[in-house]
Structure 1
Amino acid sequence: MDRLPSPPPDGHPDRFLKCHEVMDDAFSLIAAAAVEAGWEPEEVAAALVELADNHVLALLVNRDLERELATSRGS
């Protein structure tokens, strides 16, 4: 896979849209590869949603843990 372009600066009005655009091709390739391997498109879509959800939950837990650790170190 080609390297993805860097994001626009924080606060850029289209930053989220740009993120979506640069990831779209890779996302489609993964989904197409899974369907080509024999998975049903609906299974693939549901799996991608669950993977994304789990990724967000992990990010939130890690962020909260980092905050707690920073707070306990500062005490």
Structure 2
Amino acid sequence: MNLMAPTDEIASPKRPEDYADRSLDCLVAIEPAFQELAARAQAAGWSENDVSAALLELAHQHINGISADRKTKLHIEDAARSIV
């Protein structure tokens, strides 16, 4: 099930490289989808606290997954260098 209609696209960054307000621009771009997800969860019967806690936990899991992936990549690169 899609959370957003295909016409509800998330805006791309203004530039491909890093820039001062990139994080803020990302926040503004994804906020409508975030609000829609929270509203849909509440409409399904979850409390505001349930939804907030779940979204926060998902964000933490996402960050931890990114960190673990980076560490794994570094370990693989170190192992490959030691073989060569």
TM over 0.5: yes
Q: Which has a greater percent of helix?
A: 1
In structure 2, which of residues 6, 9, 18 is the aligned counterpart of residue 3 of structure 1? 9
Larger radius of gyration: 2
Consecutive unaligned residues in structure 2, runs of 5 or more: none
Aligned to 1:13: 20
Range with greater deviation from structure 2 (8-17 or 24-33)? 8-17
The size of the alignment, in residue pairs, is 75
Aligned to 1:46: 53
Give identity over the alignment, percent. Answer: 35
Corresponding residue SS for 1:73:
helix
Q: TM-score, normalised by structure 2?
A: 0.83
Consecutive unaligned residues in structure 1, runs of 5 or more: none
Q: TM-score, normalised by structure 1?
A: 0.92
Runs of 4+ with deviation above 6 angstroms: none
- State the superposition RMSD in angstroms: 1.0
